[in-house]
Amino acid sequence: MKYHPLPSSLFVRNRERFAAHLEPRSLAVFYSADLYPTSADGHFPFKQATDLFWMCGVDQEESILVVCPDAFKPEHREVLFLKETNETIAIWEGAKLTKAQAQERTGVKTVHWLQDLDRVMNEMMSYVDNVYQVTNEHWRRSKDGPAVRGERENAALRAAYPNHTYKRSAPLLNALRAVKLPEEVDTMQAAANVTAAGYDRVLRFLRPGVWEFELEAEFLHEFVRRRSDGFAYTPIIGSGANACVLHYIENNGPCEDGDLVLFDVGAVYANYACDVTRCFPVNGQFTPRQRQVYEAVLRVQKAAIALLRPGTFLHEYHARVGDIMTAELLELGLITAEQVAAQDPAWPAYKKYFMHGTSHYLGLDVHDYGPWTAPMQVGMVFTVEPGIYIPEEGLGIRIEDNILITDDGHVNLTRAIPKEVDEIEAQMAEAREAR
């Protein structure tokens, strides 16, 4: 890992919060993610299962955490199982965590190698009636998609111990992971700061004749040099009409004079994601029409951010943002009052030009865990990302920030990334003069 390790106190508190919600005589099991092969003897870069990381901070494959608050033996109340490191692994891959390093990193006092799993687990299962399992409910995979490691291990545990009662960890994790502790907020701010540095670099690099993939490379250079593992998600860099494709990831087009480029790019830091969208003019100047539509989106975004505060319900928030967008689209002449009056409530008229949602939870996952039927709470972090897409004009504009809910409203974690028209044009003019 490139990032500085997070304090073990964070993971100790997360386990305490989680354990407090377990029923008596229960244990919970968390598995690391798979290491996925490419071809021959290659592998994709490892991405840890976020539930395991949230619970203990271990960032290597073949790791298992078991939490059993009512265990008869104190040393069994939290147990971490790891792949045993050795000289061969150290030479070929780099050494894995030692037991002492794992204890320091996680705050878990009892660490075993994986070869002890069956023996120790058999004893721990004798203490409990209930087993909480992570069931990947947040991930909607297709029927034919591969079973991830946690799913395979869950099935094996049920087969080995069929007389226990099995419960879902998801409801607890949805509620707990949505509310970020101060150390998590600091880490998300670090991810935002890395992202801001990338946008600053790209803002100074952008000019007619560059290609979308060159801009992607500029982001990656800046992210990695600041201890990020790279992109929090596949970057979207769309110039001109490409910006109207919501999940455009080819990033293989030229940036023409007179176009806007839509950047949906965020860095990851210590597994925490940043998710930001900005639109910059290729030549450094917005056309009158680009400015008109851009400022309409910006007004919607600012109004949406103002609605984010404790006690707000997401369904009410999204409906209110829809009304605000409707007013802007009427003013732009993109929809008519007659279309609004005759609209289908399930797919309002504004959806023709703003077809996605305004906000989602953000954290260890880009589309992070969180309850959608409960009011917003202090410590939750949301994206705010309205957009207007006009394919017939080759114009797509989205503006996105990361917003932390606070006692008296909110804080914008990505405020350092310019989004006012005059600010963007001034920075690009400064970059032109410096070249």
238 near 247, Cβ under 8 Å?
Answer: no
| 247 catalytically annotated | yes
Catalytic-labelled residue, pool 51, 78, 222, 385? 385
Distances (CA, A) of 172 to 105, 167, 276, 305, 317: 24, 11, 28, 27, 24
| 360 catalytically annotated | yes
| 367 catalytically annotated | yes
| 41 catalytically annotated | yes
State the helix-helix crossing angle for 421-434 and 182-205, rounded to 10 degrees. Answer: 60
- One-character DSSP codes across 270-288: TTEE---EEEEETTS---H
Among 55, 67, 52, 49, which residue's Cα sits nearest to residue 121? 67
| 21 catalytically annotated | no
Catalytic-labelled residue, pool 105, 389, 401, 410? 389
296 near 332, Cβ under 8 Å?
Answer: yes
- The Cα–Cα gap between 189 and 274 comes to 8
Among 42, 22, 45, 19, which residue's Cα sits nearest to residue 34? 45
How many residues belong to the chain? 435
Catalytic-labelled residue, pool 360, 361, 401, 410? 360
Burial of 202 (0-12, 13-18, 19+ CB in 10 A): buried
| 149 catalytically annotated | no
Give the rounded distance of the alpha carbon of 68 from its chain centre: 29
Catalytic-labelled residue, pool 153, 264, 328, 368? 264
| 385 catalytically annotated | yes
Collapsed DSSP state (helix, strand, coil) of residue 114: helix
Q: Are strands 130-133 and 165-168 parallel, antiparallel or unpaired?
A: parallel
Catalytic-labelled residue, pool 84, 227, 367, 393? 367
Catalytic-labelled residue, pool 34, 59, 328, 400? 400
Catalytic-labelled residue, pool 41, 338, 344, 433? 41
Catalytic-labelled residue, pool 105, 138, 398, 410? 398
- The Cα–Cα gap between 286 and 273 comes to 30
Residue 419 CB-half CA count within 13 A: 25
Catalytic-labelled residue, pool 315, 356, 415, 432? 356
Please give the single-letter amino acid code of residue 420. E
289: number of Cβ within 10 Å = 12
391 near 412, Cβ under 8 Å?
Answer: no
Q: Are strands 267-269 and 381-384 parallel, antiparallel or unpaired?
A: unpaired
Report the sign of the C-alpha dihedral through residues 224, 229, 232, 236, in that order: positive
Catalytic-labelled residue, pool 43, 141, 247, 432? 247
Active site residues: 41, 247, 264, 275, 356, 360, 367, 385, 389, 398, 400
